[in-house]
Structure 1
């Protein structure tokens, strides 16, 4: 990671271009004035600046084809959780509702609302996930903002009940995650180890990211019951790592390594390889340059300049991490070679669908991509918000 005073030097030598989420300490995930973004050529596939040599097993250049629009008319969609049969659960940040979208035909069915959701700023009903044993317990997990905090709860989904009333009463598993007008994090996912992971933000209070006693500005790892998971850096804590500004993307690669996307401030957005107990530097450092900043901080694997990304959800497919960009309004592909990038990041769908919030792996090897133009920061188009199916390579 790099000190802000070294931005000009390191930018010229940067291995990877990409985009930051905001300009100024209190700016939101929108990243400031979108009019400052460089001109885009819709549909272009834009590589970042020169980086690593391609791995022989991963193509340096990929491709993306939008094969279908699964559904339209979603309101402020945020979290998405695939069900075992392929259907998708979608959370609405502002309404607190969860709907099921059929993978075959895109029919929407409202399951119900999560009680206690208090939307405002970047808060509301954010990430959702289904348990690793969903076939047996039918548990749906939600990360959401209340009047006092961010918290994680689970509910039983009973599809035999009438539409709109298919979610049981929430059972709060973990509470007390600081809330703010900005930087609430919100992504949750079950890992290959069947533990629940959550990305949090520092709410604009930058010091919380380095405070190991605070769950803000961290990645948390807990059991499905909300207890500290065995193997965490501290046995009595759910904190898995620290030093984050605002984590909204979590994904595991084919070798079960955890990756996370992160909003930067003035200089760099990041894709990080996550390891337990490590310090990812915020607010002391931002972007690459660990050798200059001190060995205590972990470098990102890839970084993006402001206005090209503002990364939210990520997914792993076809040997690459795929990253949805909000302000950048594009989908980034980062081909992997083990723990590093195999080639330069490559951009797709540049400006074609507006802000992109969430991307998840589809059962057929492709991706589901969710737009985010009805969240108060985008420019809604007819049919927004929508879910697209992508064929990727």
Structure 2
């Protein structure tokens, strides 16, 4: 073999090796990586006093909370949803254990977060076992407890009890999400009171929470004596006038869900209008995963909030079913693709019961910014399930 031939063969081999390596670098086994993350949840032992809420990658510490925390129900919900995706009964059994720890919250009238806690856990369980009377009873009792926070003069359910020196009757956009518990409680019990309260709360929110550009405020404070608006502010966003990303996602999801139960066109129109604000915003990155606030001052050098993207992605699949506007489902598909082909899924070597990285929590406290947070996983899994259902259809 001549030296010249050997030279050309070496070049050919090197080029082939380069192509092979380059192909390997671009190949990302999303299914395998997701399954490795699911296993982290399966291996996490049940703890009635320590629901995993978030994870500090720098400190390598799990932030654990009691059942009274607003995020406590999401972990059980994640297990229920992984069971639905995998049909592995081990997740179902573990979901039952974590769900049971939430039951005492059905009496907790100090919070509006009954839907987040109870419906994200017991509601997901009831989805898998539609004849579970125990779960039905817990949902109805929780709805009764939540209804005790309703003020007919304001026309809303009170959100928070803290910061009473500043607020008289605070109502946050997040509270729209808790209405699902009330709507379902009416379906279970045939007591229309829950449905009526949910509609009144949605109407008040629709009337007062939105700006002319269809973005929403985070917190409205009312005078409980006459229903007058005292202030429109933020608590977790950058400023009172900014568009806190997760707040926008709660609004899109909340009014899409309200339309599901009422078929009231004004709810559908608001969901579409705020979705347009979100999807067309000049500060929404190309990959569809928003910054934690659309008006954060240091964009593009600001943390993302994958949880806000996941909430919107899930909501827009449902919104697509009502409108057949492919803009919505295309965003959801893009979101899932980009999350699963980038660094948003935690590496398999991180021993923590979470799936996604880069959610952002409470900027006012500078806490849980750019970290894995349990509700980001919840709505990501819900997006997977909803898209899978659409593809079957």
Could you tell me the TM-score, scaled by structure 1's length? 0.31
The structure carrying a bigger helix percent of its residues is: 2
The structure carrying a bigger strand percent of its residues is: 1
Could you tell me the TM-score, scaled by structure 2's length? 0.31
